[in-house]
Amino acid sequence: MRRNWAARLRHGTIDGLRAVTLENERLRVTVLPGKGGDVVELLHKPTDTDFVWLAPQGLRDPRDHLQGAADDVAQFVDHYEGGWQEIFPSGGAPSEYRGARLAQHGEVSGLPWECEVVTDSPDEVAVRLSVRTRRLPYRLEKVFRLRSGTAALEVEGRATNESGLRLHAMWGQHIVYGPPFLRPGARIRLPDGVTVIPHESAINPPERRVRAGGPWPVVPADGGGETDLSVVPEPGAPSDIVYLTGFGDEGWYEISGDIGMRVEWDATVLPYLWMWQELGASTGYPWWGRAYTVGLEPFAGMPTDGLAAAVANGTALVLDPYETKVLRLRAEVLA
């Protein structure tokens, strides 16, 4: 039954893409089954704060944008609207795994997912999305759940190897934050004992924020001195990406300005947190100086060089024949 109160669901389209909205008294969450199951709205209603970053280029349906030179990076970036993507079975740069060529950030973020209603009551609403990869024999599911009266989105993901072979994968939650929520001076909190691992090279040469790794949050800065990664810098600061590890079994982080977000996840499945910082210094393709965003992305595998690199360094997720990995994640507004 259609409701305008408590927990409720809405089905519709955004720019021609299928959309479903989960809403309660405190949150409104909009998901695009028609484009990777992307989360394009995570709005805290009492403060009118949307936590997801919306990229300047806006939302584009991949089916309507086929012009331009063939490019395994552009396949993701040209249709990247910001928000929150599911990344599987490869993270970062194009890569080849056992004869399968995988584009930037793998397969599933650009595919349409099936969507079905799991629960629709005033107490809670939930939808299940599912998809099969096309180049590797995997099936992914994720259930989004919102309970009445809470400011927390609950997600349960399942990755299944549908073959009789032992396979590898990278699995990530590409969660990025931007204005108006994100601002200079915003703070990032992590558990004690987390270690910073820098990327091997600058992602926007020649500048970067971090010269060497060490204990979170203060590490050697590029060019001398130190940089405090727990404080979001002013626009124009150098672009960089680092990898955070040492979470134990339960990973969490908090990012806050006037209000905040706490994300909790199973770090036995995703033991790394990628911290991507694109703060306006990249003036070429694809950002053109217009991005001010920080990604805090739980991941299985590193670095952002694709699945082959994660297999080579031993950080890739391993799925035995017909095995299913289950991931639980919770994103809660702190107000």
Question: Tens digit of pLDDT per residue, the chain (335 long)?
Answer: 688 999 999 999 998 899 999 999 999 999 999 999 999 999 999 999 999 999 888 888 777 666 666 678 877 888 788 899 999 999 999 999 999 999 999 999 989 999 999 999 999 999 999 999 999 999 999 999 999 999 999 999 999 999 999 999 999 999 999 999 999 999 999 999 999 999 999 999 999 999 999 999 999 999 899 999 999 999 999 999 999 999 999 999 999 988 999 999 999 999 999 999 999 999 999 999 999 999 999 999 999 999 999 999 999 999 999 999 999 999 999 99
Domain 9-334 has CATH 3.30.2130.30: no
> Percent helix, strand and coil across the chain, each rounded to 5?
5, 50, 45
Encode 268-278: b = buried (16+ Cβ within 10 Å), e = exposed: ebbbbbbbbbb
Q: Which residues contact 104 (CB under 8 A, 6 or more apart)?
A: 72, 73, 74, 75, 76, 77, 92, 93, 94
Phi (first) and psi of residue 51, to 5 degrees: -85, -25
Phi (first) and psi of residue 45, to 5 degrees: -65, -40
Question: Count of residues for the chain?
Answer: 335
The CA-based angle 39-79-45, given to 5 degrees, is 25
